Amino acid sequence: MIHKIQLLTNFEEIQKLYKFIQRFPLDYPDYFQWLEKCKRELKLGYKKAFYATNSNEEIIGSIIFQPHKQENKILELKNLRVTSSYEQQGLGSLLEFLTELYAAENGFKRIRGDAHPENPVITFMQKRGYRIEAQESLYTAKKEIILYKDI
C-alpha cells in the first residue's frame, strides 16, 4: 500500500532516492555517470523529484524532472520508476499527474520525455496523453522516442 507521496526536499531524501534508482539501472550509456550527475543536480535543486513510500518508509516509486536547458517553458521528465510489486496499481500515473500539476503551478507550458523505442513507458505516456514529437539520437546512434504533453 502507498503510504505517502512527496516532493523531495532534503539531503536525507536525496540519499534515499539515489539508493533507490541505483538499484534499477536502465539500458542507457554511462548510466552510473548520469546517476552521479543527477544526485548533484538534486542537491542543487535544479532537478526535482516526487517519490512514494510504503508503510515501512521504503521508496516504491519516483519521478525526476527538470527545466529544459534551452526552453524554459518545458519541463523534462528524466526518470520514472515504480518497483515491480507496485506496477499496475496507478502509482506511475499518480507520480506523472503530480508532476503535471507541478509544471502547471510553476508556469511550464509543456512536459517532454524520451525513451528507447522498446521501453513500455512509451505506451504508458501515450495513455497519459503524451504524443510522439520526434525520434532523435540523443545518447547514442540509436534513436530515442521523444514525447510531449501540452499543459
Instruction: State residue 32's pLDDT score.
Output: 86
Q: Span 119-134, mean pLDDT?
A: 93
| 54: β partners | 2
The reported pLDDT for the residue numbered 6 is 96
Q: Which CATH architecture best describes the domain 2-110?
A: 3-Layer(aba) Sandwich (3.40)
Q: What is the mean pLDDT of the chain?
A: 92
Compute and round to an integer the Cα radius of gyration of the chain: 15
Identify the pLDDT of residue 150.
97
- Write down the residue that cell numbers 515504480 correspond to: 82
Model confidence pLDDT, tens digit, residues 52-109:
999 999 999 999 999 999 999 999 999 999 999 898 899 999 999 999 999 999 999 9
**24-32 mean pLDDT:** 76
Domain ranges of the chain: 2-110
> Residue 119's pLDDT is what?
86
d(CA 66, CA 74): 9
- The pLDDT confidence band at residue 27, using thresholds 50, 70 and 90, is low
